[in-house]
Homo-oligomer: A and B are copies of this chain.
Amino acid sequence: MSENRIITLLTDFGLEDGYVGIMKGAIAQINPLLKVIDLTHHIPPQNIAAGRFCLMNAFAYFPAETVHVAVVDPGVGSQRRGVGIEFEGGYLVGPDNGIFSGVLSLSPAIAAVELTNSDYWRCSHPSATFHGRDIFAPVGGHLASGVALTELGNNIDPNSLIKMPIPELKITNTGVTGFIQYVDRFGNLITNISAAAVAGKNWSVKIGNLKISPCQTYSDRSPGQIVALIGSHGWVEIAVNGGSAKSRLQLDRGDCVEMLF
């Protein structure tokens, strides 16, 4: 119990209601020295895929042994498992519903447990609706304080963890078809076409009658112009210099994107 690892929190709780502050209090009750960093609490309610995307893009920017607690948990209180996972970059704590599958697709699980040991929960009879407070935050607090993963519950096979794979690209006669997997606050459209998928290729994005050639950064085009580039997260992204591609192109998460090679 000598460690003071960093804990990150990612939830769909929003910041309006104090739920996140309460999770931080529950952690501070265990170890007031722990440092907690918010990834985001604005995942759209119950949108596991958006949580998976944000966590996948963030984990590599944290110190070794960081504990990532993620709670987008529509099945709270049901039979879905709570899990703790060790991977090369640190630890993952939350519901077993696929939210960790983006991280684990890039850095596989080394070990996993089901969170069955209530000694590390807030109380032995947790609320049926707020496991973030009663189980996941306390477990994260203990893990970040140096408790061994294996103390937290029964070992499980990492291959049994629920996966939520990112749909594969469809190969076409002229290139590939992908889709928009995330739209950020600027209205940038982030596709599921990775930098690796276009590496070394002469590519452009086709939207309706528009053909958009790639560039390096937003301001490579005039204000108001549409750009396509490899975003900072490593995915092909469609944006508008100084504007919102979402509004301009009337595209949103889930819509198809055609790429020409």
Q: Which of A154-162, A170-178, A216-224 sits within the interface? A: A216-224
8 Å CB contact of A28 from B38, B46, B62: B62
Which B residues are CB-close (under 8 A) to A24? 37
Contact with B along A177-210 (1 / 0, CB 8 A): 0000000111000000000000000000000000
Which B residues are CB-close (under 8 A) to A18? 10, 39-40, 54-55, 57-58
Majority-rule SS of A interface residues: loop
With A and B bound together, what is the CA distance between A35 and B18 in angstroms? 17
Nearest to A14 among chain B residues (CB) is: B185
For the complex formed by this chain, how many copies does it contain in all?
3
The reply on A121 being an interface residue by CB < 8 A is no
A18, A21, A216, A220 — most chain B CB neighbours (10 Å): A18
Contact with B along A73-105 (1 / 0, CB 8 A): 011111000000000000000000000000000
The reply on A165 being an interface residue by CB < 8 A is no
Which B residues are CB-close (under 8 A) to A15? 15, 38, 40-42
8 Å CB contact of A133 from B38, B61, B74, B128: B61
With A and B bound together, what is the CA distance between A20 and B16 in angstroms? 14
The reply on A29 being an interface residue by CB < 8 A is yes
With A and B bound together, what is the CA distance between A232 and B23 in angstroms? 12
Contact with B along A32-69 (1 / 0, CB 8 A): 10010111111001100000001101100111001000
Can you sample 5 A-B contacts with CB below 8 Å? A10-B18, A13-B185, A17-B54, A26-B61, A46-B242
Which B residues are CB-close (under 8 A) to A185? 13-14, 16-17, 45
Which B residues are CB-close (under 8 A) to A242? 46, 74
